[in-house]
Amino acid sequence: MADKAILPGATLGVLGSGQLGRMFTIAARRLGYRVHVYSPDTDTPAGQVGDAEYVAAYENLDRVRDFARGVSVVTFEFENVPSPTSRAAAELAPVRPDGEVLHLTQQRLREKNFLQSHGFPVTPFRQINALADLEAAARDLGLPAVLKTASFGYDGKGQQKLKSAAELPEAFARLNGAEGIYEAFVDFEKEISVVAARTVDGEFAAFPVFENAHANHILDVTFAPAAIPDELSREAVKLAQGILEALNVVGLVTVELFVTRDGRLLVNELAPRTHNSGHLTIDACVTCQFEQQLRAVCGLPLGSTELRRPAAMANLLGDIWLAAGGQPDWSAALRDPLVKLHLYGKAEPRAGRKMGHLTATGATVEEAVARVRAARGRLVKT
């Protein structure tokens, strides 16, 4: 792979400038790379630690080309970058994962149709463009169900749970003319995710399966290894490998899955990037997800994904700052020497806004989860 590798000292480009870009940039600089960041915002989490911050609209394709001209490879830190942006960048530098992967994964119908057509298990779904479509979907797939906007949804945004036929007209109106997707309700036991990477030569590596608990549709706590049978973990990794190969991914992709109560796996969503659930890899794995993304897009051999100890991660939302009436009590959280703090450099805390996270390790998963929850609980004085 050495003749294809983009080696330390090169400049990498990141489309998007949030916390995922920040942690990617920190990993890249540790390996001796320079990083240029492109987004419409200034003083961003990634821009604060990057070498250059390009501030312009994603639709400003001339500026996108200027950005791509100065880097050896372009990657993403979030999937809602317009397709013309990735195409313009690709004129001047390799884009990894490529724009087709981005195009597919940023729209739920395209993603579900791709997965279904390639034989991957997904929740039954229907395309919704009219109220009649919604009524037919409810008859065919039953209620309760979930109605989502087909595009630009994350952390529960654009999602409505439907319980009765009487709710359908109002739910359709709330789409505001956007294309929708109706998904049958899944009686799942838990949610898991597989963060996996693939190189241009087809080398594949996955991190240990993460188990995820949500609150108000936002990831709250993640731990690894997931509390599922080894056979199911192997099946989840095999599914992820099949998806990355079918997409011909060069880079890193996260596969979110449901574990049903009868022990089956269903693919929920794909993210063509690092993932909130993978943050614990920074402190608990031999190679973190951000370094793995770098290795994959630069054509370097992939790193070990070994989990050194059971670990857990707890998100820190702006609600904690609001409850504390200002700065949380960081000293109290860090009283436990096995707890690590990661803050994202965001100036304004808002309810539901991801401001940082805590990680902890332990002799067991249960110990790590208890430790990270206790540390977060100490942030607000009672």
**Where do runs of H (alpha helix) occur along 46-191?**
61-69, 83-90, 99-105, 108-117, 131-141, 168-173
138-176 pLDDT tens trace: 999 999 999 999 986 655 567 899 999 999 999 999 999
Domain assignment of residue 10, given as a range: 2-95
Residue with tokens 């409810």: 138
Kindly report the pTM of this predicted structure.
0.95
Same structural domain for residues 213 and 361? yes
336-374 pLDDT, tens per residue? Answer: 999 999 999 998 999 999 999 999 999 999 999 999 999
b/e code 239-248 from CB counts within 10 Å (16+ = b): bbbebbeebe
- In this structure, the answer to whether residues 15 and 82 fall within a common structural domain is yes
Q: Note whether 180 and 199 are same-domain residues.
A: no
Q: Is residue 116 part of a domain?
A: no
119 is a domain residue: no
Q: Are residues 236 and 344 in the same domain?
A: yes
pLDDT of the chain, 382 residues: tens digit per residue: 445 899 999 999 999 999 999 999 999 999 999 999 999 999 999 999 999 999 999 999 999 999 999 999 999 998 889 999 999 999 999 999 999 999 999 999 999 999 999 999 999 999 999 999 999 999 999 999 999 999 866 555 678 999 999 999 999 999 999 999 999 998 899 999 999 999 999 999 999 999 999 998 899 999 999 999 999 999 999 999 999 999 999 999 999 999 999 999 999 999 999 999 999 999 999 999 999 999 999 999 999 999 999 999 999 999 999 999 999 999 999 999 999 999 999 989 999 999 999 999 999 999 999 999 999 999 998 7
Same domain as 35, residue 19: yes
Residue 172: CATH number of its domain: 3.30.1490.20
Are residues 168 and 35 located together in one domain of the fold? Answer: no
Q: What angle do CA 192, 216, 324 make, to 5 degrees?
A: 115
Number of domains, the chain: 3
Which of 144, 163, 184 is at the close of a domain? Answer: 184
The answer to whether position 40 is within a domain reads yes
> What is the maximum alpha-carbon separation in the chain?
62
